[in-house]
């Protein structure tokens, strides 16, 4: 079980890092900027802000993950 978890994390390290960075960023945004009126759906609660930051961080960092298409689409340049 532990091997599978470590293998998953190693395979998706960028996404895991993005989730962690986004969660920290979302919490810090709530802490220092936040919502004074309490009517903001995302920033009024530290849980919502942290989860939203984690989601956005994971999505942002997943864009940097290279595609592993082996031999399906080879581009050849002809001159």
Per-residue tens of pLDDT for the chain, all 79 residues: 999 999 998 999 999 999 999 999 999 999 999 888 878 888 888 999 999 999 999 999 999 777 676 555 555 565 5
- Residue 17 CA to residue 13 CA, distance in Å, equals 6
Q: What global pTM score does this model have? A: 0.74
Ranges of each domain in the chain? 2-62
- Residue 31 CA to residue 45 CA, distance in Å, equals 10
**Residue 65 neighbours by CB distance under 10 Å:** 13
Question: Which DSSP letter does residue 37 get?
Answer: S
- Residue 36 CA to residue 28 CA, distance in Å, equals 15
């Amino acid at each position: 079980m532990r091997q599978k978890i470590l293998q998953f994390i190693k395979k998706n390290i960028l996404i895991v890092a993005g989730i962690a960075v986004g969660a920290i960023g979302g919490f810090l945004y709530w802490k220092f900027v936040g919502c004074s009126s309490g009517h903001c759906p995302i920033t009024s609660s530290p849980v919502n802000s942290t989860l939203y930051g984690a989601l956005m961080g994971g999505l942002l960092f997943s864009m940097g993950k290279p595609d592993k298409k082996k031999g399906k689409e080879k581009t050849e340049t002809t001159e």
